[in-house]
Amino acid sequence: MVPAPRRTPLAATPSVRPWPHVLAALLALLVLWTGFSRDLRLPGLYMDSINPEYLAVRALVEDARPDTPAYVLPGNLIAGKYPVLAGSYYHGPLQFYVALPVYAVLGTDIVAARVGQFTFGALVLLAMALLLRKARVAPAPAAAALVLLALDPAFMLALKTQGYNIIWPLAWLFLALAVVEHWAGRGRPPAAWQSLLAGLFAGVAFFCYFVFLFFVPALAIHLVGHLRATGVRGWKPALGVVSLHGLGFAIGCAPYLWGYQRAAAATSGWDGFLASSRGTMESLAMQAAPGGTWDNLARTWRMVRRVVDDEWVSRM
């Protein structure tokens, strides 16, 4: 007999209509836009706060200056317009393709850039709302969580600066979790396509920024826990589901390998590519803050304190 999903005080019944969660998401979007549109042109743009979306000029403006720079890895600009990997080895340019329709409609000025950055935040909120719905969180606490995130000045300012590179892949991570919660909430093991889709979303999050690889152990624990709750017993059935998740994950982050292959082909093979990447890593190491372990711990604590007391926001 398959055990029923465990209920918590915050849980709603699986049959609850989706409209309360939809309204909660819309309210959070309104709150985020209200704060986002205040001083829409501030803070000003700098290189990393618009990278790689600035490449939209190359893709959309017919008479763009031919010397418009393209900071991408060697061989990673298709037709001189579309990046495979941008200027980093550790994150992809997917936000460029998400923002491209915004620039196509609104142009390539700072207002369009802000709308594009708002879009990244909106995707995070919408994916979070879906996850809360699939996890059977009741509408009231779900709405509170969404609105509180939209109100967080750190969330909004990170979207307006380079920080959105790390924040917006949360949308893909939330989607991966939502797929698992979907089949777990119905009390039955996943179909093959559901396992592939969940893994794919997690892989895309990793492609968007490498730090999302560190969530994989937690995702695996979450998956195995739900498999046991839905009656999957024995290591062979569980291994089959986990393997499909792994396959989806590999597909989601495969553009890394495509970008590396293109860079290797443009730099005299893999030896040239590896030598170039080592040089980049060495230059980053030289720019790292000096000091030993205790100095690094003290510096980390100062950063945590500044986030908690909003000191870093006042410095923006």
Read off the pLDDT band of 9 (50, 70, 90): very low
Read off the pLDDT band of 124 (50, 70, 90): very high
Ranked by mean pLDDT, which of 15-19, 52-56, 81-85, 162-166 comes out on top? 81-85
Q: Give residue 278's pLDDT.
A: 67
User: What pLDDT digit, counting tens, does each position of 198-215 carry?
Assistant: 999 999 999 998 889 999
Q: Give residue 155's pLDDT.
A: 87
Closest CA to 61 of 103, 99, 95: 103
What's the predicted TM-score (pTM) here? 0.82
- Greater pLDDT, 244 or 233: 244
User: What pLDDT digit, counting tens, does each position of 17-60 carry?
Assistant: 778 888 999 999 999 999 888 887 777 777 677 778 888 888 88
Q: Is 13 exposed, middle or buried (0-12, 13-18, 19+ CB in 10 A)?
A: exposed
Q: Is 63 exposed, middle or buried (0-12, 13-18, 19+ CB in 10 A)?
A: exposed
81 pLDDT more than 90: no
In sign, the C-alpha dihedral spanning 206, 211, 212, 216 is positive
179 pLDDT more than 90: yes
Tokens linked to 7: 């209920």
What's the average model confidence in pLDDT over 137-161?
89
Closest CA to 210 of 96, 124, 88: 88
Closest CA to 215 of 261, 260, 258, 252: 252
Q: How far is CA 13 from CA 6, 23, 135, 139, 225, in A?
A: 11, 18, 10, 11, 20
